[in-house]
Amino acid sequence: MKFIKEDLTEQIAAAVAGRKQIVIRGGGTKAFYGNAITHSDQLVELDVTPYAGICSYEPSELVMTARCGTLLSDIEAVLDEQNQRLAWEPPHFGDAATIGGAIATGLAGPGRMAAGGASDFVLGTVLMNAEGQELHFGGTVMKNVAGFDMSRLLTGSMGVFGPILEVSFKVLPKSIANITLLRHCTLREAFECFAQWQARALGISAASWIPQDDTQDGALYVRVSGAEPAVKQARQVLGGELVEEAQAQALWHSLREHTHPFFSDTVWRICVPPLADPVNESMPLVEWGGAQRWLRQVSDVTNIRHAAAQRGGHATLFRAGAGTSQPADGVFHPLSDGVAGITRRLKSNLDPLGTFYSNRLLRNI
């Protein structure tokens, strides 16, 4: 039997009538992300994965619209036929990953440093509220937004305001040429390289320094993308060893999907300006030219968050390994009073009855 939007409307109406809260569930590949859900008889699950399919795709316009339950792998397969791609390289973390989950979490892979994040590519969204109404935000072109860009605000909202039924997003052509270069260096030397390369047009589409056995020594990988002449010229400037293509693809995939051994246990995500000072005594795995840093050892949550804030960033317990408890105030860096106030007003306007479970993103919203 074909799944239609009315099925979701009926499930939401039943939850409202029963005075229950709704937890939105997609493919479940990112269930580890966010605050732990406190299950009770008052919580019901809304599975949005049956609402799937590509609504429209205009390769010449570089725009696609898809329903929330559409598998990321299906979208990427269609784009691949047109030699196009999802430029923010959303992580899957499993075969069941959906475009709805990618937008709801707002996560991005190695290409984020050059192309932008998920919110930079979202053009429009359709949100279903607790009354079963469809709220349309944005559209399918870049210049159609006045006031708040709600589609971007919904990116990373983790279902706080309701299920994102459909999303329109911009795609990009695949790069003509890609190479990955390797140089062995210390963390300090890696940051010196980042500083030298930051202001130069070298076509760097990804960069990562990976520590060796939690020491100052490690390997710096740099991916360069673009036209053949530009890539060749950048290689001469950057130096380093050329990594075989299959090995390079496996590396960037392991960083995107967290299958690299570094991510085998508890991991914290620190986002700071690219050239900010180190924020922890343990050796990080560094991405995005220094802007994203992953840590395995954080003994003092208050200290790491204070250090990140001092440097203009934030710290998140991305994945809690066995025996690791979540911080009392949540896994995400506490919001400033101003941002928290705006979030509460949005929640009040879009979901006044508090139908959609919000503690996974923010506690006491």
pLDDT at 138: 87
Question: Which residue(s) pair with 226 in the sheet?
Answer: 177
CA–CA gap between residue 225 and residue 232 (Å, rounded):
10
State the number of CA atoms in the 13 A half-sphere of 33 facing the CB: 21
Report which of 165, 205, 168, 174 is spatially closest to residue 79, judged by C-alpha positions.
174
pLDDT in tens, the chain (365 residues): 456 788 899 999 999 999 999 999 999 999 999 999 988 899 999 999 999 999 999 999 999 999 999 999 999 999 999 999 999 999 999 999 999 999 999 999 999 999 999 999 999 999 999 998 999 998 765 555 444 588 888 999 999 999 999 999 999 999 999 999 999 999 999 999 999 998 888 999 999 999 998 788 999 999 999 999 999 999 999 999 999 999 999 999 999 999 999 999 999 999 999 999 988 878 999 999 999 999 998 889 999 999 999 999 999 999 998 888 899 889 999 988 898 898 899 999 999 999 999 999 988 77
Query: Could you say which DSSP state residue 98 is in?
Result: B
Query: Could you say which DSSP state residue 60 is in?
Result: T
Fold of 1-174+338-350: 3.30.465
Question: Considering the entire predicted model, what is its pTM?
Answer: 0.93
Report which of 310, 234, 299, 326 is spatially closest to residue 273, judged by C-alpha positions.
310
pLDDT at 141: 59
Query: Could you say which DSSP state residue 336 is in?
Result: P
Domain ranges of the chain: 1-174+338-350, 177-319
pLDDT at 2: 53
CA 278 to chain centre: 23
Query: Could you say which DSSP state residue 71 is in?
Result: B
CA–CA gap between residue 142 and residue 188 (Å, rounded):
40
pLDDT at 142: 52
Please write the tens of the pLDDT for every residue from 181-240. Answer: 999 999 999 999 999 998 888 999 999 999 998 788 999 999 999 999 999 999 999 999
